[in-house]
Amino acid sequence: MAALLLLANDRADAAELAAALTDYGHSVLVERSARAGLVALEEEPVDVIIADEVLPGMTAVDVVAAARSSLGRAHLPAIIFSRLPRAVLHELPPLEHVLVLPASAKASDVAHAIARLTDGRGRHRGSGSGDVHAK
């Protein structure tokens, strides 16, 4: 399945989600800060970044942009957890190969999002338009 980088502010929530995603067959690397996540990406390639929208040091969008730039992977998929109201999430402009989920999303929602962003084996779908909009 997919190799995931999970960037989360809350240690307990991160451990719970990582355990659930591991049960789905994914390998999960957990970091608590944007900087630590970017360093980890240099050493361990991942298929999808999963991040809280605001992290110590930068936003999830900034992390994804920096990772894509430094790794030379312009289409590295990402899932961003947002605390914005669901109605606002529907109004966000689409970000290429990024899915925005409510912060309250369940592990099954995240697993489904990973499958949408990858071919089910952890490889990015790579479709031309590839935009994934807020759920």
Q: Residue 124 in contact with residue 77, Cβ under 8 Å?
A: yes
Answer yes or no: is 130 within a domain.
no
Q: Where are the alpha helices (DSSP H) in 24-78?
A: 34-43, 60-71
What pTM does this model have? 0.84
Structural domain boundaries, residue 118: 3-125
CATH number of the CATH domain containing 23: 3.40.50.2300
Answer yes or no: is 132 within a domain.
no
The strand ranges marked E within 32-108 are 48-52, 54-55, 58-59, 78-82, 95-96, 98-102
* pLDDT tens digits, 10-65: 999 999 999 999 999 999 999 989 999 999 999 988 999 999 998 988 989 899 99
The alpha-carbon radius of gyration of the chain (Å, integer) is 13
Answer yes or no: is 24 within a domain.
yes
